[in-house]
Structure 1
């Protein structure tokens, strides 16, 4: 060690290790405004590693609980799924075996899953939702395009009249999609958390522990390491996006776990139907991509 060197001098508040005041202010602003959601919504699904895993991963049909397939994961068995908790696997062993900060997508796929129930209900008729949902979106866009064209030809100087015509059309589209989701049984939704890589293991542990105790819903998932270094996505699911009481209950549990609070950046709840229909922020239909924010719910607006 260099004579006279003291580490506390380098890392003290007076040190320039983190840059001057202007640089520190800039870095703090970047941290405060960083939004990882566009990455997980727009980039992650299109990565070659994600596409490759999705296309090659074996598709297992659900087996009855009393079938021999379920015996593979019985108490004392050494079998452990590569992307989820084993049926009789202790929580501590599961977290140690698949820590999201170090589990690579190439080894486990894009997600690590935790499911509470022995048997899970189906995801609904996703194919019908996507087919008929896209037809609804196309019909809206055609009608909206006609309204925009008529507005442009009218020579109106403002868009107020056009907005008044589009808003009810947009509300109808939203309700039609929600109705279709109900009809097809694609009713799940999720609260989305974005912990940093440094904090993803501790956040996931809190989610898994609370879920195992029955304090959340029946399922959650966390993104594995795809090499991007981005903040990770944790989805905490509820069975029915229209069940506001349950949606609020799960959020309050996340607050109790210290994962959400009123003062920090809000988290958002999105229905799976919108995910399957590729409805993201700033979509061309003018739909709000998330149904609720934690700030709205915790302040009593929802």
Structure 2
């Protein structure tokens, strides 16, 4: 059950900034609440009986898929005839597990789309020394900023763990469809460009209900999309590498001196006066974040 004290919506008695100040993740602990929320109530909380039935059906069907996968994965692990590494024409244990996992993931996606329980989130982890500033950025963005415009419904952050205060804080940025690659790409791009935040991937809410994480015995991958998969069309590493190579070549060419000749001094003087300075490409928000300067130039910078 969600404690309304830690859930801000537009009708809250506190203003957004007052809420963000009073409910800072650095001072709220897990003894107080499991999560701190912001945004409109999720469809799970406000969808009525129809939504509850859809969720229950999805969980029931999904459990069958995951239980079946778990049994088969355990059988592979215990079968001494299946090698750890592929050899003599035999497939490896990992290859067989991956194939089963991919098939199970497709079945879970089909269940999600059939039942209509499509909700999910993008996730990211933030160290304690940055969590309050990041939560303020995310909160404002979800309420009336670029994340809101990108289709984010709400967000939550984990409070401080009293047993491990140095642990990173988990942020969940909620979207209506965890399998909509266009929506995931749009939200991930906002997180990267506008906020300098690097999400680890997207995950269906059904996975949470089924207890799927990195330590689950089914060994099913815990995310429906990794960041590189969601952004592949825009941020293909090969394309980025080639673009940087081209830019470096152009910069080197611009910096070459003119060979000596009868009119070399005159031509060099002409080039020096006519040549326009090459504008440096500004740092991306992601770069500033990695350098610890994520709010450089931001109007919302914390004082």
Q: TM-score range by the shorter chain?
A: 0.5 to 0.7
The structure-2 alpha-carbon separation of the partners of 1:116 and 1:277, relative to structure 1 and needing over 3 Å to count, comes to same
Partners of 1:252 and 1:157 in 2: how far apart?
38
Matched, 1:140 2:69: yes
Contact 1:222-1:232 within 8 A present in 2 as well: yes
Match of 1:215 in 2: 149
Match of 2:116 in 1: 185
Normalising by structure 2, we get a TM-score of 0.61
Q: Which of residues 26, 37, 56 in structure 2 aligns to 1:101? A: 26
Counterparts of 1:1-302 in structure 2, within 5 Å, are 81-86=4-9, 87-88=11-12, 89-107=14-32, 109-116=33-40, 121-122=46-47, 124=52, 125-144=54-73, 152=80, 158=86, 160-161=90-91, 163=93, 166-213=97-144, 214-216=148-150, 217-227=152-162, 228-229=164-165, 230-260=167-197, 267-281=200-214, 283-300=216-233
CA deviation profile, 1:146-203 (whole Å, cap 9, x unmatched): 5667x64589994743656554433221111111222333311111121112211110
Contact 1:100-1:112 within 8 A present in 2 as well: yes
Deviates more, 1:83-92 or 1:211-220: 83-92
Normalising by structure 1, we get a TM-score of 0.62
Gaps in structure 2 of 5+ consecutive residues = 237-303
Match of 1:6 in 2: none
Secondary structure of the 2:91 match is: helix
Contact 1:148-1:162 within 8 A present in 2 as well: no
Tell me the matched-pair count: 219
Partners of 1:175 and 1:218 in 2: how far apart?
25
Q: CA deviation at 1:140?
A: 2.6
Contact 2:101-2:221 within 8 A present in 1 as well: no
Gaps in structure 1 of 5+ consecutive residues = 1-53, 59-80
Q: CA deviation at 1:282?
A: 5.1
Partners of 2:139 and 2:206 in 1: how far apart?
24
The structure-2 alpha-carbon separation of the partners of 1:223 and 1:145, relative to structure 1 and needing over 3 Å to count, comes to closer
Between structure 1 and structure 2, the one with the greater Rg is 2
